[in-house]
Amino acid sequence: MKKVISLVLIFVFILTVAVMPASANILENDGHLYEEKFVSRYLPNEKEPYYAYDELFVHTNEYEEVDWVLVSASKLSGTDFYMKQVIGDWVLVATFTWLPFNFNYAVYDVKSETFVKLNEECLSVYEGLEMVMNLLPEAELIGDTDGDKSLSILDATNIQRAIAQLCEFDSNDDLTLYFDYGGNLNYISDFNRDGERSVLDATAIQMKLAKVEDTTLMVF
Least confident of 76-85, 121-130, 147-156: 76-85
CATH classification number, 142-219, choose in 1.10.260, 1.10.3470, 1.10.1330, 1.10.20: 1.10.1330
Q: How far apart are CA 160 and CA 166, in angstroms?
A: 9
Q: What is the pLDDT of residues 24-54, one digit of tens each?
A: 588 877 679 999 999 999 999 988 899 999 9
Domain ranges of the chain: 22-138, 142-219
Q: What is the pLDDT of residues 164-190, one digit of tens each?
A: 999 999 989 999 999 888 888 999 999
Q: Is the pTM of this model over 0.75?
A: yes
pLDDT confidence of residue 39: 96
The CA-based diameter of the chain, rounded to the nearest angstrom, is: 74
Mean pLDDT for 9-25 is: 41
